[in-house]
């Protein structure tokens, strides 16, 4: 009997904890048409600020070919139950990158900073794969050409334009065209980006491969149902991401 009473009390505590939470709708920046990214619960507004939501580019565009591109958005403003975000970077899935590289081919990685016309600073990471193994001197020329081109594009574009550009197919086509006089590449991807500095904030340099603290974008279906009317028949702990 005592154990059953303890289970019922634990179930009530779980329900009470969820009843005190408010669901906030996570909204993408205007760059991504202010689309809804999902929902996240919190019992205090301050706990929502700073959370990071991860979605794929497929979720925003409906393009199935973009499922391997992961976007990260950080909540920086609340208005009622709407949680507004800003873009802080993107990445590609490991299996997609692994499929790009084959035996007897070189892999060229390049990491460099970019500053946009409106003062945003980013770190961009590129991977290029030629059709065969090439000399180190040619790899260096390829890296230099990539860096010079993307840095110049950053100076021509504001942040929102540049983000759209590096996520588009146009960036890959343009880079391939730029590299043709140096050495043709079979595949090239802007595999990762990180925003290092927002103009309104102090510059905070991130470690080279720092892990981002992520949250699961929840949906109302994850919330335990209110079973208070059935307590007399069954009391079990509820599962609550």
pLDDT of residue 15: 59
How far from the centroid of its chain's Cα atoms is residue 223's Cα?
Answer: 24
Q: Is 71 helix (H, G, I), strand (E, B) or coil?
A: strand
Return the pLDDT at 182.
94
- The model's pTM is 0.76
pLDDT value at position 102?
A: 79
Would you identify the CATH topology of the domain 93-205? Tetrahydropterin Synthase; Chain A (3.30.479)
Nearest to 221 by CA among 241, 236, 204: 241
Residue 65 CA, chain-centre distance (Å), reads 17
Domain positions in the chain are 1-92+215-230, 93-205
Summarised one tens digit per residue, pLDDT across range 68-109 is 999 999 999 999 999 999 999 999 999 999 988 877 889 999
At residue 105, φ and ψ (nearest 5 deg) are -130, 145
């Amino acid at each position: 009997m005592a154990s059953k009473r303890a289970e019922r009390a634990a179930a009530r505590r779980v329900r009470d904890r969820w009843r005190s939470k408010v669901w906030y709708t996570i909204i993408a920046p205007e760059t991504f048409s202010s689309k809804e990214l999902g929902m996240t619960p919190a019992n205090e507004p301050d706990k929502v600020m700073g959370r990071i939501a991860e979605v794929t580019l497929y979720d925003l565009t409906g393009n199935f070919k973009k499922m391997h591109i992961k976007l990260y958005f950080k909540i920086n403003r609340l208005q009622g139950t709407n949680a507004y975000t800003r873009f802080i970077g993107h990445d590609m899935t490991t299996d997609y990158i692994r499929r790009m590289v084959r035996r007897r081919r070189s892999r060229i990685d390049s990491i460099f900073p970019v500053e946009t016309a409106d003062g945003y600073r980013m770190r961009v990471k590129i991977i290029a794969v030629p059709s065969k193994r090439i000399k180190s001197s040619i790899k260096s020329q390829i890296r230099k050409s990539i860096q010079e081109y993307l840095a110049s594009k950053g100076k021509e574009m504001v942040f929102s334009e540049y983000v759209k550009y590096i996520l588009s197919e146009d960036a890959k086509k343009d880079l391939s065209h730029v590299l043709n006089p140096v050495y043709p590449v079979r595949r090239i991807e802007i595999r990762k980006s990180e925003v290092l500095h927002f103009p309104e904030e102090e510059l905070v340099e991130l470690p080279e491969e720092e892990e981002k603290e992520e949250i699961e974008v929840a949906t109302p279906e994850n919330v335990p149902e209110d079973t208070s009317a059935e307590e007399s028949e069954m009391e079990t702990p509820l599962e609550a991401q």
